[in-house]
Amino acid sequence: MRRDHFSANVIAQILHWIDDHIHEKITLEDLSRIAGYSKWHLQRMFYEQMSITAATYIRSDKLYRSIRDLKFGDCTIIDIAEKYSFSSQQSYTRTFKHVLNCTPSQCRARRNHLFNGLEGEQLCRTCRTLYE
């Protein structure tokens, strides 16, 4: 029990750090350095606590945050891709399509006042329900 509590605290610190650095390129080496564990041990701890890998968590967080920028902002898709540190617009679009089953352009076109106040996964789910 004590070990689980310790692991949960380490992962909570990592999540907070990810939140503070979401617009940067985040590597497993960065997280390992912050946590003070090898990247292999950190990956195991992260998966045990979150039931997903750190890379999947970071990628999803960046994508879900970018949805708000697409729907409510005026930045170009390439600017949004750069804001969340994707290597290119193509990489962003390919990842977006693979994870969220639509392109950033399709997402942007589906603007609706019903989305006000929604964030992340809830915003994506609501959009999908209305338009598919």
pLDDT tens for each residue of 49-108: 999 999 999 999 999 999 989 988 999 999 999 999 999 999 999 999 999 889 999 999
Do the beta carbons of residue 115 and residue 64 sit within 8 Å? no
Q: Where do you find CATH 1.10.10.60 in the chain? A: 57-131
- Which tens digits make up the pLDDT trace of 38-57? 999 999 999 999 999 999 99
Distance CA 104, CA 93 (A): 6
Q: Which residues of 65-76 are buried (b: 16+ CB within 10 A; e: fewer)?
A: bbbebbbeeeee
User: Which alpha helices (H) appear in the chain, and where do they start and end?
Assistant: 2-20, 28-35, 39-50, 54-72, 77-83, 89-100, 104-109, 120-131
**What mean pLDDT do residues 104-129 have?**
84
CATH architecture assignment, domain 2-51: Orthogonal Bundle (1.10)
Q: Is the dihedral of CA 32, 6, 55, 83 positive or negative?
A: negative
At 131 the pLDDT is 77
Q: How far apart (Å, rounded) are the C-alpha atoms in residues 32 and 17?
A: 12
| Residues present in the chain in total | 132
CATH number attached to the domain at 57-131: 1.10.10.60
